Structure 1
Amino acid sequence: MKRTPVVPRQESLVLPVVINPFSYDRKLSFCDKLQVAFMTVTIVPIRAILIFFFLVLGWLLAHIALAFRTEEEKLKPMTGWRTFFTVPMVVLGRALFIVLGFWVVRRPESAPRASSREAPILVVAHHSTLLDTFLTFYGTYCLPSPVSRVENSHVPFLGKLIEFSQPVLVKREDPNSRSHTVQEIQRRANSDGQWPQIIIFPEGTCTNRSCLISFKQGAFLPGMPVQPVCIRYPNKLDTVTWTWEGPGAFTQLWLTMCQFYTKVDVMYLPPYHPSEEEKKDPKLYAANVRALMAKCLNCPVTDHTYDDCRLMVSAEKMKMPGSIGLVEFEKLHSKIGVKYDQIADMLRNFIEIKGAKWKDGEGITYDNFSEYLMLPKSEALREVFDLYDRDGSGTIDFREYVIGLSLISNPVNNDDTLKLAFTLFDKENKGHVSLDDLQMILRQAFNMGPEEVEKMFVEVDTKCDRRISYGEFKDYANKKPEYAKVFTTYRETKLAHSLEQPPQFSNGLAREGSAVDRPSTSFQVDPASKKLQ
C-alpha cells in the first residue's frame, strides 16, 4: 500500500501573481510599422539633431559649473555661483523631454512637490525605463540627486550631466560600495535641507510595470520622511519599457522617437512620515510605502528583486531560458534563509539534473530525477519527487527545487542520518563500504542491477581504491542531499509496511496482541515540514 506523504503547503510560498516582471514582448501592428517608417525618414532626424544640440549645450554648461571643483567641494552641496546653472539645466532637460515627444501630465489630485527639508528623499515607481530620470526636471526648478550606477557617470554627454546633479553612485556588484551608498544617503538625508532631494527608484531595476517588486531599503534606512512619486505610461503602444528580456534600450528609444507623442502620468503623493516602529524597521517602512504606491498604481506586489535578474543572467550564460532563474529571491531569503550564493549553486545543480533535454517552460521530470540520482523508480523516490513538486504539475521548476532542497532534503542530510546510512551499508563495521556491500543493499532496497550499482560506486569512490570511506560517502551525500531524504523516506515506508503486516499463525490468523491490534503509529514530521506550517 502506498504511503501518502503529507507536507503542509505554506501560503506565503505560493507562486507570485506576476511570474516574470522582467520580461517584455512588444508587438507592432501593420499600421505601427507604417508609422515607424514614416517618422524615421521625416521627424526622427529633426528630433535627433535637436537632442544632440541640447545634450552638447547641457554638457558645456555642466563643464563650466563643475570647473575647478576640488575633491573637498565634491563632498559638500554646490553653493555660490555654481547654483546659478541649475535653472538653465532644468529648462534644457524639459526641452529635451519635449523634443523626445513626451507629454507629461500631472494628475489634478497630485500633491505639491515637497522641499528637501520636508521630504529629503523622493521614491519613484514604477521604474521601467532609463527615461524615468527625466521626470526629475518636472515639479520644481530644484534638481534632485539620483542614486545611479557608477557606469552611468561614464556615458558620453550624459555622464557630465549626471555629475552636475550631484549623484550618489553605487557599484551593484561591490558589497562595500552598497554600504557606502547607504551611509551617503543617510548623511545627505540628515542635512536639514542643505543637500538637494535624493531621487531613488527603490525597485532597483527596470520592470514591465505589471507589479511592484521588492523595495530596497536604502531610501528608508535614514528613517526620514519620503515623498512617493507614481509613474504611468498610459499609451496604446508601449515603446518605453526596457527590461532584462525584450527589446534593447536603443531600439525602444528609436521607437519612442517614432511616436507622435508619448504620454506620461505623474502622481505626487503627500510626504510619508514614518512611525517610530517604521524608523526602527526599514523593511517595514519600505513595505508600507510600497503598499501605498501599489494602491495608487492599482497593481499587485511581488517579492522579486535585482538578485532574480542576476539569476536570469546566470541561467542565460548556461544556455538556458533566463526565466527559470525567477524565484522571488526576497521571499525565499526571508522565509527559509537561503542566500544568493546558495541559490546560484542550486541553479547549476538544477541545470545539471535537467541536462540538455530542456524545453521552454519544463522543469525536472521524474525521469530526470531518477537518472540524476542513478536510482530506479520506486515508491520512496516517487514520494520525494512529489514532495518537491509542490503544485502537482508532474515537473519540478527551479523555485520548487530551491524550496525542496532547503526544507525537505537539507534538514535531514545531517551527521546522524549519514552515519546511520553508512552503518547500514557497512554491516561488518569495517570502516568502509565495498562494492559487494553496496550491491547487496541497493539490490534489496531498489532492485538495482550490478551495472547500475557499479556506476554509482565509481562515482562515490573518488580515491579509486575500490572502497568507500565515510568521508567519501559524506561528500557525495552533501553533493546530492536528495539521497538523505530518499533514505529516510525508504525507512519510513518499510516501517509502515511492517506495521500493516501482522505476524501470522500457520492457519493464517493474526496472533492476538500483534501489530494489527496495536494503536496506529504516528510518523514523525521532518523539521522541514514544520517550517511549511
Structure 2
Amino acid sequence: MPFVGTIIRAVQVIYVNRFSPASEKNARRAACDKFPRVLLFPEGTTTNGKVLMSFQLGAFIPGHPVQPIIVRYPHVPFDQSWGLISLAKLMFRMFTQFHNFKEVEYLPVIMPPNNKIQSPVHFAERTRQAMASALNVVQTSHSYGDLMLLMKAAEVQQGRPWNYMVEMARIESVSRALKLFSLETYLILFVFYEKLDLTLSTLLFQISSLEAVDFLDKFLSMNPDTSGCVKLNDFLRVLRLKACKLSEEIFGFLDVEKNGSITFKQFLFGVAHVMKQPLFMQACELAFAECDLADILRQAIPDLNEDQVNGLFNLFDTDNDGRISRDDFVSCLRKNPLLIALFSPRLLQKDFPKLAGDRMPEEIV
C-alpha cells in the first residue's frame, strides 16, 4: 500500500526499533527540539484494555503535572483493541463492522509531589492507580519487557507464548516478597551469603528487558514443552553438562517446586540471582586467573570423556578462535551464570572471601 508510506512521511514519523537501544538514540538525535513532545500510552505498548500494565517513567521523571486520559473501545461484536492478532486481521474486522466506537475521558490532573521525596516510580504509580480506578481494571506488574518476551516466544512459534511473560517490572526491581533459596549446593554462593548475610528480599536483580530476552533465547534452546517447562536432560544438553550430583543440584536450585521441570520464570530468577551477586564478577576473574579449565571440569564432573571436555571448551570459547581469553571466559559466565558452580571448590580453596577483601559489596562493584 504505497499511500500508507506517503502518509507516514507527510506526518514526519521517526521510526524506532524498540529492540535496539542504538535506534532509540538515533531517533532522539533526529527529533527536532522545537517540536512539542506528547507522551501517549505510557505502558509502552498496546494491550487489550483488560488490565493496566506498569508505566514507563519518561513522563514522570521531570516532575511536571500529568494529564491522564483514558480511552475505551465499546464493541459489538468485535473487540478492536489490539491483542494477539495480526494487524491485517484487525483492520479487516474493523472495516467489516458498521460502527467502531471510542470513548475518551479526561481525568483530573495529577500533580507532582511537593516535597520531592516521592520518586518518579511512586508518581507513576499514583497516576496508574487513578487511571485503573476510572477504567475499573486491575493493575499488573507486566511491562514492555514482557511484550518483548511474548514477541520472542511467538517468533519461534511457541504454542503458548504468554507462558514466557514474567512481570518484568517486578523482576527489574525485586525488593520484597521473595524467600531465600537454599544455596548449600552452590558453595561459592554460600560464601557470598555467609559473608554478606543477604536474602533475596534485600537484593535488586536489575535485569534489563534485553538481558531477559537473551536468557529467553537460552531457555528456548532447551526445547520447552507445550506448557513452557524444561526437563533436566534438555537443561544439561544446552549447558554441555552430563548427569551427576553437581549438575542435578544446579537444576534443583532452579526447580523450587521439585517437580522435575523448570519454567522460564524460575530460570530467569535463578540466573539473575546468581549474576547480580555483588561478588559475581570478582569470582569470574579469580576463576579465570586461578583455575585450569580442563582440571576443574574433570574435578567437578566425574568421568568426563574428551568429547565432553571439548564441548565445554567450545562453550567458553565464545569467539571460536581455539583459545579461551579472559573476555571469552567472563562473557560465557555472564551468559551462563550457573556454570560458576563448577569453580566453587577451587575458589573455596583459594579463600575467595579474603581475596575479595574486607570491603562491602557496593564498594567492590
What TM-score, normalized by structure 1, do the two folds share?
Answer: 0.47
Relative to structure 2, which stretch is displaced further, 329-338 or 312-321?
312-321
Gap change, CA 1:278 and 1:387, over 3 Å in 2: farther
- Aligned pair 1:483/2:339, yes or no? yes
Q: Which runs of 5+ in 2 are unaligned?
A: 175-204, 349-360
Structure 1 segment 107-506 matched on structure 2, within 5 A? 155-157=5-7, 160=10, 163=11, 171=16, 173=18, 174-176=23-25, 188=36, 198=38, 200-243=40-83, 245-246=84-85, 248-277=86-115, 281-318=119-156, 320=158, 322-323=161-162, 326-335=165-174, 336-352=205-221, 354=222, 357-390=223-256, 392=258, 394-408=260-274, 411=277, 413-416=280-283, 419=286, 432=292, 437=295, 441-442=299-300, 446-450=301-305, 453-456=308-311, 459=314, 476-485=332-341, 487-488=343-344
Once residues 289 and 39 of structure 2 are traced to their aligned partners in structure 1, the CA distance between those partners, rounded to angstroms, is 59
- 1:295/1:452 Cα in 2 relative to 1: closer, same or farther (>3 Å)? same
In the TM superposition, what is the alpha-carbon distance from 1:183 to its structure 2 partner? 9.3
Q: State how far apart, in whole Å, the 1-side matches of 2:29 and 2:313 are.
A: 50
- Select the structure of larger CA radius of gyration: 1
Alignment of 1:79-90 (within 5 A): none
CA contact (8 A) 1:375 1:448 kept: no
Counterpart mapping for 1:53-132 below 5 A: none
**1:240, distance to aligned residue in structure 2 (A):** 0.5
Shift of 1:293: 0.8
Query: Is the alpha carbon distance of 1:284 and 1:458 closer, same or farther for their aligned partners in structure 2, counting shifts above 3 Å?
Result: closer
Contact (CA 8 Å) 1:413, 1:478: kept in 2 or not?
A: no
d(CA) in 1 for partners of 2:171, 2:64: 29
1:484 Cα deviation after fit? 1.4
Root-mean-square deviation (Å): 4.2
Give TM-score scaled by structure 2 length.
0.65
CA distance in 1, matches of 2:336, 2:153: 20
Amino acid at match of 2:40: I
Query: Structure 1 residues 358, 263: closer, same or farther in 2, change over 3 A?
Result: same
The alpha carbon displacement at 1:338 in A equals 1.8
**Residue matched to 2:191:** none
Report the number of matched residues.
Answer: 308
* CA deviation vs aligned residue, 1:187-237 (integer Å, no higher than 9, x gap): 848xxxxxxxx4622223211112111222333344333332223334353
Distance 1:479 1:159, change over 3 A: closer
**CA positional deviation for 1:290:** 0.4
Measure, in 2, the Cα distance between the counterparts of 1:401 and 1:383. Answer: 14
Q: List runs of 5+ in structure 1 lacking aligned partners.
A: 1-152, 190-197, 427-431, 493-526, 528-533
Distance 1:433 1:229, change over 3 A: closer
Question: 2:329 & 2:63 partners in 1: Cα distance?
Answer: 51
Q: Which amino acid aligns with 1:343?
A: A
Whole-Å separation in 1 of the counterparts to 2:92 and 2:229: 37
Identity between Structure 1 and Structure 2 (%): 23
